[in-house]
Structure 1
């Protein structure tokens, strides 16, 4: 049986086609942290997503909360309000993967953020040690 050139080309194209992968649910918006102390706002920044400290739900010290635990001494006096703590978050299967920073302990980490309805599962990993917390829609 001989296949026509058109049929052969169509079969080849169909066989090489990669299945479409659904994009993860959007994380854009405001999310209350698991400890109830702040609201983080996720937004589009270039071709990725970023997250910043949008507001505090507890009283700040006089003069505002500072990045006092930062490993870089010259950054320890910067204010936390408005500080970008997630960056380069890109869609990867069912989550967003990128980088994060925790001003609570001054650690940078690999971030994996997955939305589940009105919750965000925020996973942070430093080397092989990971921690996951659940945030809620603010």
Structure 2
């Protein structure tokens, strides 16, 4: 059976669309910008840093103690006097499929964790895992 040139072109275009349009090859939606945490206490600014993304505490939405909030729960005693405002708490977030994966730090309990961050409509979802224990938070645009 002989295929027409039009049929060959149509088949080639369909294969290209399937290959190029697959979700696995799509870059994740942008996470850049200011996002309010699910507890309403702070705003995290996600930004490009080198070849990856980072996130820092850019604003507190609750009153800070006199002298500013400090990293009092840090497991490293030498770091417990660091100010939280401006502190980078997400780093090395690299695109992996539809999400960004990297590292994070929670100043509330002094834990470092594996982080996944992705857009879900108008929300930003942040999943943090320590060993096999995970928690997902929903941030909203600030």
TM-score by length of 2: 0.83
1:69 aligns with 2:73: yes
CA separation in 1, counterparts of 2:41 and 2:122?
Answer: 18
1:30 aligns with 2:34: yes
Picking from 102, 107, 121, the partner of 1:98 is 102
Name whichever of 99-108 and 111-120 sits farther off. Answer: 111-120
Unaligned runs of 5+ in 2: 1-18
Query: Deviation per CA, 1:67-116, whole angstroms, max 9, x where unpaired?
Result: 00000000000000000000000000010000000000000000001101
1:137 aligns with 2:133: no
More helix by share: 2
How many residues of Structure 1 are paired with residues of Structure 2 in the alignment? 120
Provide runs of 4+ in structure 1 moved above 3 Å: none
Shift of 1:117: 2.1
Unaligned runs of 5+ in 1: 1-18
Two-structure CA RMSD over aligned residues (Å) = 0.7
Aligned partner of 2:57 in structure 1 is 53
SS of residue paired to 1:66: coil
SS of residue paired to 2:78: helix
